[in-house]
Amino acid sequence: MRHFLTINDFTKHEILEMLALAIKIKTEHKNGVETPYLKGKTLAMIFEKSSTRTRVSFQVGIYQLGGFGISLSNNELQLGRGEIVRDSSAVISSMVDMIMVRTHMHERLEEFARFSSVPVINGLSDVFHPMQLLADYLTMIECGIFVPDPLLHNVGMKENIAKPIVAYIGDGNNMANSWLMLASKLGFEIRLACPNKYMPHKDIIKIANENAKISGATIVITDDIFSVAKGAHVITTDTWVSMGQEDEKEKRMWDFKDYKVDSNIMSLAHKDVIFLHCLPAYRGLEVSEEVIDGEQSKIIEEAHNRLHAQKGVMVWLNEQNQTKKS
């Protein structure tokens, strides 16, 4: 059974297959072509952690693919009343064709997948946010910022940069981890600038460095925001205080005060730099209003691409698991 828990589970070719599918399906939908790739399929969406973009994009995505989505919050499930993950996973997976889980703990997601008889997709965990990264790379592709590959050229994406530079500034969290996985698999340059107390976990860095030996990726991890921004094609960040960290807010505000993405930081980047943010964003904190609402910002296109990237993943997983069954 193929699940989608982290980008590290897949080869470069498989990741690009999903993205090529996403581009194909997005183009078909834009041109008014029906896309019933998952006709009659049911997607269960489990939210242990609340959401805006994840819920809307998955629910609309499965509908546009000809299927049906069921949204379940933690207080609607026996999981919220103490049922073990193993039982919930076995029962729910016996009734649906695919499951998306958005959870506080990556270990719960892995356990859910272990006992599921259908594909499980990581809608977000405390360690990784892979769906967001596929949407981010899809946005980069549409802006001509991607590693050249025949799979992408076959779906009409011709302009590209030989080795893009992405600068991530802020918390070494699930977004930073996911950027490390994507860059190290696809072979572009990722630069992370994080306060010393908020660096990504050393085990994640080790995996990324091992991947980079194969892909040719460049990985830079520092606390210097100016050096990572210099010449970057993409500058991205995330909120300083994620959901569940509210009790750390005052300390984090102080620790991250020098890590704001503003016009001075953007001026160090490539002349055609784009700004990305997974949202929700807090203007005036991790990013200035002039940047996030400026011409270089692609946050709305990026959020919209969650819909299409996830459709590519769902169709790819369905095809892979159908092939295995036959």
Known binding-site residue numbers: 51-54, 78, 102, 129-132, 174, 238, 242-243, 278-279, 306
Angle, vertex CA 175, rays to CA 265 and CA 222, nearest 5: 50
3-state secondary structure of 151: helix
CA quadruple 246, 249, 250, 251: dihedral positive or negative?
Answer: positive
Cβ–Cβ under 8 Å, residues 135 and 113: no
List the catalytic residue out of 3, 55, 106, 129: 129
Q: Is 310 a catalytic residue?
A: no
Q: Which helix (H) or strand (E) holds 182?
A: helix 174-186
Q: Which residues are annotated as a binding site for carbamoyl phosphate?
A: 51-54, 78, 102, 129-132, 278-279, 306
Q: Which residues are annotated as a binding site for L-ornithine?
A: 174, 238, 242-243
Q: Is 306 a catalytic residue?
A: yes
List the catalytic residue out of 238, 270, 277, 308: 238
List the catalytic residue out of 191, 233, 277, 306: 306
Return d(Cα 25, Cα 162) in angstroms, integer. 26
List the catalytic residue out of 3, 102, 108, 308: 102
Smallest Cα–Cα separation from 244: which of 233, 232, 254, 252?
A: 252
Q: Is 132 a catalytic residue?
A: yes
The phi and psi torsions of 254 (rounded to 5 degrees) equal: -75, -45
Q: Is 102 a catalytic residue?
A: yes
Smallest Cα–Cα separation from 48: which of 106, 86, 109, 103?
A: 103
Exposure string of 167-194, with b = 16+ CB inside 10 Å and e = fewer, is bbbbbbbbbbbbbbbbbbbbbbbbbbbb
Q: Is 247 a catalytic residue?
A: no
Return d(Cα 309, Cα 53) in angstroms, integer. 13
Q: What is the DSSP string of 289-320?
A: HHHHTSTTB-HHHHHHHHHHHHHHHHHHHHHH
Q: How many CB atoms lie within 10 A of CB 207?
A: 17
Q: Is 194 a catalytic residue?
A: no
List the catalytic residue out of 108, 278, 308, 310: 278
End-to-end CA gap in the chain: 13
Exposure string of 221-235, with b = 16+ CB inside 10 Å and e = fewer, is bebebeebbeebbbb
Smallest Cα–Cα separation from 102: which of 202, 244, 2, 301?
A: 244
List the catalytic residue out of 59, 64, 132, 310: 132
* Catalytic residue positions, numbered: 102, 129, 132, 238, 278, 306
